[in-house]
Structure 1
Amino acid sequence: MNKTELIRKIAKDAGVNHATASRMLNSFAETVVNSLTKGERVKVRGFGMFKVAEHCARNGYNPQTHQVVPVPAKKTVRFVPSESIKSSIR
């Protein structure tokens, strides 16, 4: 499912027009991004949790040159699904 299909489904289920559903989805995504930028977790009961994970700097390996390559520390976004989602996809 892509974004357009998701917007179409939200519009149908919520009984709103396409433009309103699009604004709803964009607002949700923007709110999640803003919260994650501040280092906050976003929990949606029955759906899951978005959080920022930090990875330490480490040494990688280039298989072509056989050299050790430093990999800098970085932050990534993690999604942890709720138990109901986990059980429905098993």
Structure 2
Amino acid sequence: VVAKHSGVFEVAAVGIEDSHSGEVVKLFVVKKDKNLTESRLIEHCRESLTAYKVPKQVVFLDELPKTNVGKVLRRALKDQ
């Protein structure tokens, strides 16, 4: 859903601990559109996803960390 947004170049999602619900979604996004905001992206997700799948945090990065073969290093993202 997030990757289909016209302002998103690349995205990765990780689960982070939450005291209320156990775990919530955190997104790491590389923007295609420099005007893209966290609130616009979350609103886009609310239109298509059930409430527990909507990200609670969005972090914008210049690039996602990747392995030599191009896979996203989710463990490195989770530590951020």
TM-score range, shorter-chain basis? under 0.3
Identify, as 1 or 2, the structure richer in helix. 1
- Normalising by structure 1, we get a TM-score of 0.25
- Normalising by structure 2, we get a TM-score of 0.27
